Structure 1
């Protein structure tokens, strides 16, 4: 499967990997700024998000899908920017194939193998109950309330509502069509929405210490404790990592204060992705 994607600009390649409560549209505010800054920018939808269908194929890994897309586009090396679950995918790629990653920016990233704490387990349970009760609107609102911080405007909240509802509808329709034969369940959909497991993907074995790319780890002071802990751990495990906690941010800083998040990303990429590194 080739992931649905957009490509624009010229220069060093930057790949934007979305959170699992969103799709590639979450990067609308960064798209033009990064191309104007001299980058060739790629953004894609994981399986079951945006315009990429949720195919009942097992097993698969989102990291493999992203690498296959880059091969199709002729991209050898790239900087990766990942939010939440997209950050987890970026960590897997950078650890498995360090030479392909020129720089790594992780925004409130998930970490493979993380054992959920009480808050995340409670979120999973509440979302599962809502989905089982066919209260999709309630499940969407739970995600919006949980993952957006106090700086998010109502317009941003509505954007996330639309993206999350679409993802639920696509994934749950695929589950029904497969008549559970593909091994999916409402609980797996809930886990995926929490940024822990994508539908149909295997739990990868990942060693962040193998990452060689300069790395920016960003956490939000208003984010769930699990994700703040994962950011702290990533910054400790990745050899060339710098950790910044944004005092105003929740879980999705690139949506909550897009101008500030964009400035942070462009400054980091300017430092670590000079033009001569273009693929």
Structure 2
């Protein structure tokens, strides 16, 4: 196995793909709930996150991850950057994806809002100044909504710090292999979730995907920021289990 992962439970398969602010630890509350509901849950760390170091050569995240679902179709749950990887998997290997749940998903090539560009500039300025603590705090404040408490903020703080440790800002950005894929090849039933307190980009992406994918439903959460599965795991667990049990 080229990337760190763990598997728990028995039953229909669910694959959890983390946000690029976090790592697979962001799914702790979902794993326990999904296993208790009768599902087999796989989660992984992308390269440069958690327990998966960066490789010495270019790679493709979707190709790393798809090896985890070789045994049969699974429902893929992706948060933010993990949602983008979930979309790529569903487009390139549609036979392996029984369903998609996309939480505040990214989408390649989608125009960035002024708010998103301003955040990136603040983060870049702090990283350029060597202020990793400041860069971590900017991420915590940007990506968590008002429903998040001290425990959730501390968890994101730890995971984001780990990203900076594995991907030092003073080194060149790691090179990935980009493969062309098309939303038109996605056939999986899809649930799209966005948060009212998130950057507008991610609601716009959800609306675009809802209008583009063949069998998609969009839910906007009025309490949520960018990481609703951490902010109110009980609500997201119910959404996930209801989706998984509906055919």
The question of a shared fold, defined as TM-score above 0.5 by the shorter chain, is answered with: yes
Q: Any conservation in 1 of the 2:69–2:96 contact (CA below 8 Å)?
A: no
- 1:48 aligned residue: 48
Q: CA offsets, 1:66-125, max 9 Å, x none? A: 012333xxx221110000000000001001111110010000000111121211111111
C-alpha separation between the residues in 1 aligned to 2:231 and 2:110? 25
Q: Which runs of 5+ in 1 are unaligned?
A: 186-198, 273-279
Higher relative CO (Cα under 8 Å, sequence separation at least 6) belongs to 1
- 1:16 aligned residue: 16
Q: Which runs of 5+ in 2 are unaligned?
A: none
- 1:78 aligned residue: 74
Which of the numbers 137, 140, 143 marks the counterpart of 1:144? 140
Q: Post-superposition shift, 1:228?
A: 1.2
Q: Any conservation in 2 of the 1:112–1:203 contact (CA below 8 Å)?
A: no
User: SS of the counterpart of 1:264?
Assistant: helix
Q: Does 1:158 align with 2:157?
A: no
User: SS of the counterpart of 2:57?
Assistant: coil
C-alpha separation between the residues in 2 aligned to 1:57 and 1:18? 22
Q: Does 1:205 align with 2:190?
A: no
Cα distance, 1:209–1:115 mapped onto 2, change above 3 Å: same
Q: Any conservation in 2 of the 1:112–1:204 contact (CA below 8 Å)?
A: no
C-alpha separation between the residues in 2 aligned to 1:42 and 1:249? 25
TM-score, length-normalised on structure 1? 0.85
TM-score, length-normalised on structure 2? 0.96
Q: Any conservation in 2 of the 1:2–1:69 contact (CA below 8 Å)?
A: no
User: SS of the counterpart of 1:42?
Assistant: strand
Q: Post-superposition shift, 1:3?
A: 1.0
Q: Post-superposition shift, 1:238?
A: 0.8
Say what the alpha-carbon RMSD is for the aligned residues.
1.4
Q: Post-superposition shift, 1:138?
A: 0.6
- Write out aligned runs for 1:172-251 (5 A): 172=168, 184-185=172-173, 199-251=174-226
C-alpha separation between the residues in 2 aligned to 1:204 and 1:118? 28
- 1:195 aligned residue: none
Q: Post-superposition shift, 1:203?
A: 4.1
Q: Any conservation in 2 of the 1:112–1:206 contact (CA below 8 Å)?
A: no
Q: Any conservation in 2 of the 1:18–1:26 contact (CA below 8 Å)?
A: yes
User: SS of the counterpart of 1:105?
Assistant: strand
C-alpha separation between the residues in 1 aligned to 2:152 and 2:231? 7
Aligned pair count reads 247
Q: Give the ranges of 4+ consecutive aligned residues of structure 1 lying more than 6 Å apart after TM superposition.
A: none
C-alpha separation between the residues in 1 aligned to 2:231 and 2:185? 31
- 1:190 aligned residue: none
C-alpha separation between the residues in 2 aligned to 1:118 and 1:203? 26
Q: Does 1:66 align with 2:62?
A: no
